[in-house]
Chain A
């Protein structure tokens, strides 16, 4: 009963480095999304996907890239890390066939120095 799994949980990057945050769900959900959470700002949508092969930008997409080759996986790539990308990242999934309840991963704490 894994739900939404994110890795890594913690990561420190140097400015300019690239990395990928992994996200996988085992609920066969169509919708997957990535959010970042910053103090006092709530969760902001970075990118989302409504199915394999379909992605779109959210509120704060700059500096991030996504792809959705399978229903289960939705990785988030930081192309060239900047200190402004220091944040907590959450992956989430949902499905209209389960009432659009949104399920979250445990979060990934990223620090860019």
Chain B
């Protein structure tokens, strides 16, 4: 059974620092991995999707890497801003055709 873990559960950084969020998964037989942002009381917004054949994806200040062999993905957010405060979740689409989510990392960026 695929298990997805996100550590740490919470993170607080001062504005301007780079954010590094980790996601690990136990079964490397995945089709893709997706990163989401969730604001309090809101739904999930897709940030980046990395196909299993890709090593990384970039969008603006966001960069996500994928290492299938070690079962890890990292989301980097450069030059963090208070508006980046949210919960970030990763999800893997596995060989059973299902998405498996991590519990998320709650990020607070202080001015």
B98 at the interface (CB under 8 A from A): yes
Q: How many residues of A contact B (CB 8 A)?
A: 24
**Do A43 and B32 contact each other (CB < 8 Å), given the known contacts A101-B46, A101-B49, A103-B46?**
no
Q: Which label, helix, strand, loop or mixed, suits the secondary structure of the B interface?
A: strand
A100 at the interface (CB under 8 A from B): yes
Contact with B along A41-75 (1 / 0, CB 8 A): 11111001010000000100000000000000000
Q: How many residues of B contact A (CB 8 A)?
A: 22
Q: B31: nearest residue on chain A (CB-CB)?
A: A100
The 11 sampled A-B contact pairs (Cβ below 8 Å) are A42-B89, A43-B89, A43-B91, A90-B43, A92-B99, A94-B93, A99-B49, A101-B34, A102-B46, A104-B44, A106-B43
Please report B residues at the A interface, Cβ cutoff 8 Å: 4, 9, 31-32, 34, 42-44, 46, 49, 51, 89, 91, 93, 97-104
